[in-house]
Amino acid sequence: MRVLHSFLLLVLCLFLHVSAREWEIQHKEADDEIQERINTIVPSTKWCGPGNKAKNYNDLGFNHITDACCREHDYCPDSIKALRRKHNLWNASLFLRSKCSCDHKFYKCLKNSTELIAVGIGKVYFNDIIIPKCFELEHPIIGCKKYEDYRCIKYIVDKKKPKKYQWFDLPSF
């Protein structure tokens, strides 16, 4: 009886292990598929989207002006990865968030591009899908001086208090 009990327990453990492993594989495949869809580089560019598909720093796509904007944004010296904490800030977004100076530079670069695709990338990044916030080391925010499309684009800060990292809205494209 003891042998049978041990055998059944072993079979149950193996079944649970195999089932758990299969569940893990299925969910990893689903996560990979979601990540693959998110990690799509914009056609005719090599840098616009998460990551890049360039052979080297100077390798730009057909829309090279816009691609150069994306490449420069990718090289932002400070960012917070999705679902991570840095500078005592939690990025609850599914997308990387950058230092405000990098996002403002990206915004201006896309606005100055003569390529039609820059408008689409700007609208997706700044308006439709991501609607990002950026972060900066600044005196504590105490209010908003100017709103645009439900976003604060000019802040009131308390210059008497020490600077700290905090989230800021970005303008619509």
Lookup result for tokens 């210059």: 159
How far is Cα 72 from Cα 67, in angstroms, rounded to an integer? 9
Give the separation between CA 172 and CA 138, rounded to whole angstroms. 22
Residues in the chain: 173
* Class of the CATH domain delimited by 40-169: mainly alpha
Residue 38 pLDDT class (50, 70, 90 cuts): low
pLDDT of residue 130: 79
Task: Using the predicted structure, report yes or no on whether residue 20 has a pLDDT greater than 90.
Answer: no
The answer, yes or no, to whether residue 110 has pLDDT greater than 70, is yes
Q: Is the pLDDT of residue 31 over 50?
A: no
pLDDT of 59-95, one tens digit each?
999 999 999 999 999 999 999 999 999 999 999 999 9
Q: Which residues pair with 157 in a beta bridge?
A: 141
CA distance readout (Å), 153 to 87, 120, 130: 22, 22, 17
SS3 98: strand
Rounded (10°) CA dihedral 136, 162, 85, 89: -70
* pLDDT for position 24: 44
pLDDT in tens, 130-159: 778 999 999 999 999 999 989 999 999 999
Quickly list H helices, the chain.
2-38, 64-74, 100-112, 116-123
Is 103 a catalytic site residue? yes
Asked if pLDDT for residue 43 goes beyond 90, the answer is: yes
Query: Looking at 67, 73, 74, 169, which residue is catalytic?
Result: 73
Domain ranges of the chain: 1-39, 40-169
Catalytic choice (31, 59, 78, 103): 103
Local confidence band at 6 (pLDDT 50, 70, 90 cut-offs):
very low
Instruction: Give catalytic status of residue 104 as yes or no.
Output: no
Residue 7 backbone dihedrals phi, psi, to 5 degrees:
-65, -45
SS (HEC) of 59-71 = CCCCCHHHHHHHH
- What's the rounded Cα separation, in Å, for the pair 2 and 101? 70
Mean pLDDT of 119-138: 92
